[in-house]
Amino acid sequence: MRYLATVKYNGTHFQGWQRQPEVPTVQGSIEAVLSKLLDKETVIYGSGRTDAGVHALGQRFHFDTEKEIEDLSKFRYALNRLLDRDIHVDEIVKVADDFHARLSATSKVYQYVINTGEDDPFNIDFKHFYPRDLDVEEMARGAKLFAGRHDFRNFTSKEEDDDGFVREIYDISVSRLKDHIIIEIAGSGFMRYMVRMIVGTLLEIGMGRFSVAETAKLLDNPERHFVNYKAPPNGLYLVKVDY
């Protein structure tokens, strides 16, 4: 039997999503509890990886069991009771045996939160504190470059890619909410550091230290010239994954 779960987590104290030996990760923490509840070593398959310090509001993962879980509500309750308090499973549903949390995904939405106002010690792990006067209109103009299907090889640290570093951005927006700037990106999929490099570039555009024209030269460029800017992880959230 195969089940799909939706999970949210505070990524501050984890070394990312992917299981690693001897360090706390989201995947490793969930697998340990699932294995205990199911009385069998259980592996989970996420919709994708998040970096150390990155948060999630709607990450997805699937797992298999030999027997059907009779009461998913009680099972989810028991799972959350045993999980680290930085992790919470919102939903578990039964899916087809050929469903895959990563391969079946059609889109993912990320959001990046920038605080340009007063420092807030209670949100230091959840927003990027950047007290600068940013040109949001110019950032929005730069963001439009990324919309559509492009070669993003200069906006990822990934060394090789079966799809030629080509991904499609369905929608990207830059908006101001009082002293906060919200960047939201929806796309077919994202490579390592891709969102953070895009955000980092937009921040440099907002500061006037990098231009829209310079950004255009890095996009769809068959030669690798890695962008020099990468936003920190604490402002980034995986908002949802659609199928």
Same-fold call for 2-95 versus 107-242: yes
Q: So what's the architecture of 2-95 in CATH?
A: 2-Layer Sandwich (3.30)
Cβ-based neighbours of 86, under 8 Å, separated by 6 or more: 9, 10, 11, 12, 13, 14
Would you list the domain boundaries of the chain? Answer: 2-95, 107-242
Average per-residue pLDDT for the chain: 97
Q: At residue 107, what are phi and psi to the nearest 5 degrees?
A: -160, 155
Predicted confidence at residue 105, as pLDDT, reads 97
Provide the pLDDT for residue 184: 98
What is the per-residue pLDDT across 39-93, written as a single tens digit (0 to 9) for each? 999 999 999 999 999 999 999 999 999 999 999 999 999 999 999 999 999 999 9
Tell me which architecture the domain covering 107-242 has in CATH.
2-Layer Sandwich (3.30)
User: 128-129 and 107-115: which strand pairing?
Assistant: parallel
Give residue-wise pLDDT tens across range 81-122.
999 999 999 999 999 999 999 999 999 999 999 999 998 899
Q: Which residues are catalytic?
A: 51
- pTM for the whole structure: 0.95
pLDDT at 201: 98
Q: ∠ at Cα 154 (57, 184), nearest 5°?
A: 30
Which pLDDT belongs to residue 235? Answer: 97
Supply 223's token pair.
Answer: 């030669």
